[in-house]
Amino acid sequence: GNSVTQMEGPVTLSEEAFLTINCTYTATGYPSLFWYVQYPGEGLQLLLKATKADDKGSNKGFEATYRKETTSFHLEKGSVQVSDSAVYFCALSAPGGFKTIFGAGTRLFVKA
């Protein structure tokens, strides 16, 4: 079945450091891939998405590229801020399917 594996946290970085959160997936066909972010006490927000191989999703300085050859969708940001502290979820949705599969989430702490 479909699954998403993302690196365990927490990840602690200093402000302006480079961020990478790894995400790999298992799926049949060509799923859509997402990164969602959850700030403390809130629901999830879509951060970025990619719907086909080699697409790059980007938003608020975050980027992730849909790599079918490595079945990966790693999240990166060149310079993190304290306000980026949150939990990040990698997710996939199979075409025409209604069930989104979420990774376990990676908590990010950014220190000033």
Partner 1 sequence: GAVVSQHPSRVICKSGTSVKIECRSLDFQATTMFWYRQFPKQSLMLMATSNEGSKATYEQGVEKDKFLINHASLTLSTLTVTSAHPEDSSFYICSAMSSGAEETGELFFGEGSRLTVL
Which of 74, 80, 88, 105 touches partner 1 by CB under 8 A?
105
Q: What is the footprint of partner 1 within residues 26-85 (CB under 8 A)?
A: 31-32, 34, 36, 41-46, 49, 51
Map residue 8 onto helix, strand or coil.
coil
Contact 21, 88 (CB under 8 A): yes
Instruction: Find out whether 93 and 107 touch, Cβ atoms under 8 Å.
Output: no
Query: Residue 10, preceding bond cis, omega within 30 degrees?
Result: yes
Residue 109 lies near partner 1 (rule: CB under 8 A):
no
Cβ contacts of 69 within 8 Å, gap of 6 or more? none
**Segment contacting partner 1 (CB under 8 A): 20-28, 59-67, 77-85, 96-104?**
96-104
Whose Cβ is closer to partner 1: residue 6's or residue 74's? Answer: 6
Residues that bind partner 1 (CB under 8 A): 31-32, 34, 36, 41-46, 49, 51, 89, 92-100, 102-105, 107
